[in-house]
Amino acid sequence: MMVCEYKPGLEGIPAAQSSISNVNGLDGILEYRGIRIEELAEKSTFLETAYLLIWGELPSTEELAKFEDDVYHHRRIKYRIRDMMKCFPESGHPMDALQASAAALGLFYSQRDLRNPVYIRKAVVQLIATIPTMVAAFQLMRKGNDPVKPRDDLNYAANFLYMLTEKEPDPLAARIFDVCLILHAEHTMNASTFSARVTGSTLTDPYAIVASAVGTLGGPLHGGANEEVIGMLEEIGSVENVRPYVEDLIARKAKIMGFGHRVYKVKDPRAKILQNLAEQLFSKFGQDKYYDIAQEMERVVGEKLGHKGVYANVDFYSGLVYRKLGITTDLFTPIFAIARVAGWLAHWKEQLAENRIFRPTQIYKGLHDQPYTPIEKR
């Protein structure tokens, strides 16, 4: 068998053939099923985009209405899942709570039928519908409150914000949140999507797939970065502190959170859209010094690291937007998961259509023919 050159992180090695999304990292272009992200952010909704990603085409009016209706009517979570979540330690991270709850959902639907489109659709609806409810339920229960029931008259984004706060959100806030979900719904072969495809390739159930992808998304080099961005902006504290802070990180060769991307060598197109949304939010709901710090940071990092292709990524502005919407910092990554479930499920379907179990190779660098030393002689 031919052994290829080893690439740490599998950089540049195709892991699948896909027609779900495409990134041109040099020109800063992202497309879902061939449609530019800017157009979807302006004209679509998260549920319509999820449909596009998963079934490959924009839905007709009837298809979209049916999908929305199905999702809206499956948003309640089973009381056993709620009771299980009540026992989670309140100090635990909501991503861990989400991972456990998504896996637990599989206990209720163990009759896997991967060749049946009806089973696939049901699983898609169940996951897209219940993941936000689980995130909101854990948030309320860890504060000692009962979860808020979903409201059938509110759309996907508005209902999530309502379940978090028990207040009907401002329409601009709900629309901006929905656009954030569109922007995070899919992004080619990133770590969590790869994880979803590897798990899916074993023909396990979609709940296990989402649970494994949630675990992968949680790390600070992937979805966890937006949480760290806010911590960093708070630590910086003022516009004057930005330059020395950035210079110190660069001198220590530390990574600046919210900057850099394996694929984009220009500003992430999603960061541009988010920056614009942040401006709208701040002008409607009041200015915030963290926005000024962020802008100065972008300027200084561009000056210092632009020559290496390091610019703001999606996580840099998403944290600022969520913070302004009053969302607790450790919910940022679970919100990323709410959106990315759409992409994971699209990749699951695509993987099933031409499945071959993932089984890469390795380059063995260990010893051979070693003697077994009895324990008393070690």
Let me know: does 29 contact 12? Beta carbons within 8 Å.
no
Q: Look at residues 223, 198, 222 and name the one whose alpha carbon lies nearest to residue 208.
A: 198
Percent of residues in the chain assigned helix, strand, coil, to nearest 5: 60, 5, 35
For ligand ACO, give the closer residue by CB, 33 or 187.
187
Please say if 248 is a catalytic residue: no
d(CA 141, CA 226): 24
For ligand ACO, give the closer residue by CB, 112 or 255.
255
For ligand ACO, give the closer residue by CB, 138 or 259.
259
Backbone φ, ψ for residue 271 (5° rounding): -65, -35
Q: Which of these is catalytic: 178, 184, 205, 261?
A: 261
Structure tokens at 216: 């992968």
Q: Which of these is catalytic: 205, 268, 315, 347?
A: 315
Least CB distance from residue 258 to ligand ACO, whole Å? 5
Least CB distance from residue 347 to ligand ACO, whole Å? 16
Show the beta-strand stretches assigned E in the chain.
Answer: 21-24, 29-32, 35-36
Residue position matching structure tokens 């972008």: 298
For ligand ACO, give the closer residue by CB, 121 or 255.
255
246-250 LR contacts (CB < 8 Å, sep 24+): 246/297, 246/300, 246/301, 246/304, 247/304, 250/304, 250/305
Least CB distance from residue 260 to ligand ACO, whole Å? 2
Least CB distance from residue 183 to ligand ACO, whole Å? 10
Please say if 261 is a catalytic residue: yes
For ligand ACO, give the closer residue by CB, 64 or 250.
250
Q: Which residue is nearest to ligand ACO (CB)?
A: 260
Q: Look at residues 171, 185, 183 and name the one whose alpha carbon lies nearest to residue 280.
A: 171
Let me know: does 27 contact 159? Beta carbons within 8 Å.
no
For ligand ACO, give the closer residue by CB, 266 or 305.
305
d(CA 112, CA 301): 49
Least CB distance from residue 30 to ligand ACO, whole Å? 12
Q: Which residues is 172 bridged to in the sheet?
A: none
Binding site for ligand ACO (CB under 6 A): 221-223, 225, 255-262, 305, 308-310, 313-315
Structure tokens at 170: 């401002």
Least CB distance from residue 257 to ligand ACO, whole Å? 5
Q: What positions carry a catalytic annotation? A: 261, 315
